[in-house]
Amino acid sequence: MSSYFTRSNLQLSSFALLTVGWILSLASMGRMDWRVWHLEKDPSSMISSGITWVGIWKVCFYSPRLHPPHQGKNGKICHSYIKHDTFLPQDFRIIQNIFLFACILGAMGKVSITIAIRNFYLGVPRRSAICNPFTIGGFFYISAGICILICVIWNYHSVFKNQSITFPATFHIPPSPETQEIGDAVSMAIVAAILMLLGGMFFLSFKGGKHTGKLSNVETSRSKRQMFKIKEKN
Q: What is the 3-state secondary structure (H, E, C) of the chain?
A: CHHHHHHHHHHHHHHHHHHHHHHHHHHHHHCCCCEEEECCCCCCCCCCCCEEEECCCEEEEECCCCCCCCCCHHHEEEEECCCCCCCCCHHHHHHHHHHHHHHHHHHHHHHHHHHHHHHHHHCCCCCCCCCCHHHHHHHHHHHHHHHHHHHHHHHHHHHHCCCCCCCCHHHCCCCCCCEEEECHHHHHHHHHHHHHHHHHHHHHHCCHHHCCCHHHHHHHHHHHHHHHHHHHHC
Of 151-155, 172-176, 208-212, which has the strongest mean pLDDT?
151-155
Where exactly are the structural domains of the chain?
Answer: 2-30+84-217
Cα(124)–Cα(70) distance, integer angstroms: 57
Q: What is the pLDDT at residue 210?
A: 46
Helix 184-205 vs helix 2-30: angle between axes, to the nearest 10 degrees?
A: 150
CATH class of 2-30+84-217: mainly alpha
- Confidence tier at 41 by pLDDT (50, 70, 90): confident
Task: Indicate the average pLDDT of the chain.
Answer: 81
CA 124 to chain CA mean position, Å = 30
Cα(49)–Cα(47) distance, integer angstroms: 6
Q: What is the pLDDT at residue 67?
A: 55
Average pLDDT over residues 20-33: 94
Residue 217 pLDDT more than 80?
A: no
Cα(205)–Cα(217) distance, integer angstroms: 24
Nearest to 126 by CA among 200, 213, 205, 10: 213
Cα(125)–Cα(220) distance, integer angstroms: 15
Cα(81)–Cα(55) distance, integer angstroms: 10
Cα(138)–Cα(200) distance, integer angstroms: 4
Model pLDDT for residues 66-79, shown as the tens digit of each residue = 655 555 556 788 88
pTM here? 0.78
